[in-house]
Amino acid sequence: MSIFSTFRNIFIAIVALFSLVSFSVYKMNVLEKSYRRALSQQKELRELGAQLAHGSDYLTDEIRRYVQFGEKVHYDNFWEEVRVTRTRDKAVERLKELKVLPNELVYIEKAKEYSDNLIKTEERAMAAVERKDFDESRRLVFGKYYDDQKKLIMGNIKKFQDIVNSRAQALTNHVQKQISFFMMLTNLLLLISGTLVLFLVYGIGIRRLLNPLKYLTTIMRKLVVGDLDTEIHVSNKKDEMSEMGQALQVFKENLVEKNIAELKLAEANKSRNLILESVGEGIYGLDLNGKATFINPMAEKLTGYSLEEMKDSPVHSLTHHSKPNGEGYSPDDCPIFKTLESGEVCSITDEVFWRKDGSSFPVDYTSTPIYEKGMLAGAVVVFKDISERKHVDEVMRQIVVGTSAAIGDEFLKSIVKHLAISLRVKYSFIGEVVGDKLEIIKTLAVWANGELVENFEYSLLGTPCENVIDKKPCYVPNNVQEIFPNDQLLVEMGVESYLGIPLFDNKKNAEDCW
């Protein structure tokens, strides 16, 4: 059973028990009042019985004194009791008001009847006194008949008192038993309620709620600090704590999967970053507003801008704001912005990008759209600095223009001259391989230190030109003397870098251009 259901059932039981306790306490209060009322009624009934007996005795005393002494005061007292005070009549009326049972009231009525009969006898005695017949009056009130009637009166009153007292005592005993029963019931209900409260606090609150919650809190703290190897023990009980444990287990599994996914993503990002850092092209990403979302090191190097700088403003306003001739370049005409608007791939080969220092460089670039969930989300731009290629094209153009009018040896001399000038180098020559063993180079045209010089010969052995004769170019940008220490000509001429390209005759024999 779930904790909520158990708690609800126990709560309902406790409410029911306390309701019964309240009813029991209420019942005890009612019975206590009934008990006190019964005691009061018992006392009053005894007093009323005594009042009847006293009234009868009072009349007897007064009539006997009157017949003995003939004093008028006793006569008046007698009739005042009978007609005014009416002690006996009032007692009977009060008994009827108290709803005395008929079988009890009959004794009072008999006593009243005998008392009334005595009054007739007493009236005859009074008449005898008036006649001065004191012997007759005394015989009437002191005789056997009078005493018998008096005994009947007192006997009925005594029976009434005994019956009423017995009934009242039985009633008080019954009420007292009921009070004791409800007192015991109240104590029992309070004991059961207390037991349920203790069970609720310990069995539910501590064992099934606080202890599991403390355990799950400890597990959560371990998970928060990255301890994903900790085991989660889930109870077989079908309650909320078990469900929380199962949810925590699912959370842990999801967290493990997330960490694995993040690790894979980190590895993928690392590979991507390595690629982005290694490629020779500049690469940057754009959002739909034309602001950079990422930029690789080559792009930073070529443009001079960092990612933080390119995130704050549209990249077009930083690197693509003008055309090669300095004329302003509107974003509406920019192919990159067309990609952001239409999703078209654009490739351009004759534009320039502008550096942070205000200089420009020629580029080839391609802008490709980026889609996310089928929606255009931005673009990625890949560009390449083509300054070297432009320079080579210009060199070739100058060579072609410079040598177009020359023939024979003049043509070769014109080539080495324009190569040296265009490439800004000290030495340039064209040579051919001679000898049967192809070990000697004989120059055909030589440019050195800004002028044409005499041709010469040198051995191929141990020189970079030896590689060129193998029909492949040889390029050494730095430290060429250290790489070819046996080439004394490199030392004599002070050469630091070397570029050799094989030339072929119509028989595909290699010659050297240096």
- Asked if 466 and 474 count as a contact pair (C-beta separation under 8 A), the reply is no
In this prediction, residue 219 carries a pLDDT of 77
Which residue in the block uniquely carries the two structure tokens 């949810």? 247
- Asked if 298 and 280 count as a contact pair (C-beta separation under 8 A), the reply is yes
Handedness of CA 83, 86, 89, 90 (dihedral sign): positive
Structure tokens at 42: 């018992």
Rounded Cα–Cα distance for residues 272 and 278 (Å): 10
Q: What length does the chain have?
A: 514
Structure tokens at 56: 């009868």
Burial of 363 (0-12, 13-18, 19+ CB in 10 A): buried
| 3-state DSSP assignment of residue 208 | helix
- Asked if 381 and 365 count as a contact pair (C-beta separation under 8 A), the reply is yes
Cα–Cα separations (whole angstroms), residue 65 to 78, 184, 201, 254: 10, 60, 83, 117
Per-residue pLDDT tens, the chain, 514 aa: give them. 666 677 677 778 888 888 888 887 888 888 788 778 777 777 877 787 788 888 888 888 888 888 887 788 888 888 888 888 888 778 878 877 877 788 878 888 888 888 888 888 888 888 888 888 888 888 888 888 888 888 888 888 888 888 888 887 888 888 888 888 888 988 888 888 888 888 877 777 777 777 777 777 887 887 777 777 777 777 677 767 677 777 777 777 787 788 888 888 888 777 766 776 667 789 999 999 999 999 999 999 999 999 888 888 899 999 999 998 889 999 999 999 999 999 999 999 889 999 999 999 999 999 999 999 889 999 999 999 988 877 766 766 666 555 555 566 788 888 888 888 877 888 999 888 887 667 888 888 999 988 999 998 888 888 888 888 777 788 888 888 888 888 888 888 888 888 888 877 655 554 555 5
Who contacts 289 (Cβ-Cβ below 8 Å, separation ≥6)? 314
> Side-chain half-sphere of 75: how many Cα atoms within 13 Å?
14
| 3-state DSSP assignment of residue 329 | coil
- Asked if 131 and 75 count as a contact pair (C-beta separation under 8 A), the reply is no
| 3-state DSSP assignment of residue 429 | strand
Virtual torsion, Cα 397, 399, 400, 402, nearest 10 deg: 120
Structure tokens at 439: 């070990």
Amino acid at 410: E
Which residue in the block uniquely carries the two structure tokens 């006392």? 43
In this prediction, residue 510 carries a pLDDT of 47
Structure tokens at 18: 């306390």
Q: How far is CA 253 from the centre of its chain?
A: 18
| 3-state DSSP assignment of residue 365 | strand
- Asked if 258 and 252 count as a contact pair (C-beta separation under 8 A), the reply is no
Q: State the pTM of this model.
A: 0.43
Beta bridge partners, 427, equal 448
- Asked if 455 and 440 count as a contact pair (C-beta separation under 8 A), the reply is no
Which residue in the block uniquely carries the two structure tokens 């220490």? 485
3-state secondary structure 445-509: EEEECCEEECCCEEECCCCCHHHHHCCCCEEECCCHHHHCCCCHHHHHHCCCCEEEEEEECCCCC
Q: How far is CA 294 from the centre of its chain?
A: 35
**Short-list 343, 361, 341, CA closest to 352:** 361
Kind and range of the H or E run holding 270: helix 240-278
In this prediction, residue 330 carries a pLDDT of 92
Burial of 220 (0-12, 13-18, 19+ CB in 10 A): middle
Who contacts 141 (Cβ-Cβ below 8 Å, separation ≥6)? 60, 63, 64, 67, 121, 122, 125
Amino acid at 456: F
Kind and range of the H or E run holding 366: strand 360-372
- Asked if 323 and 341 count as a contact pair (C-beta separation under 8 A), the reply is no
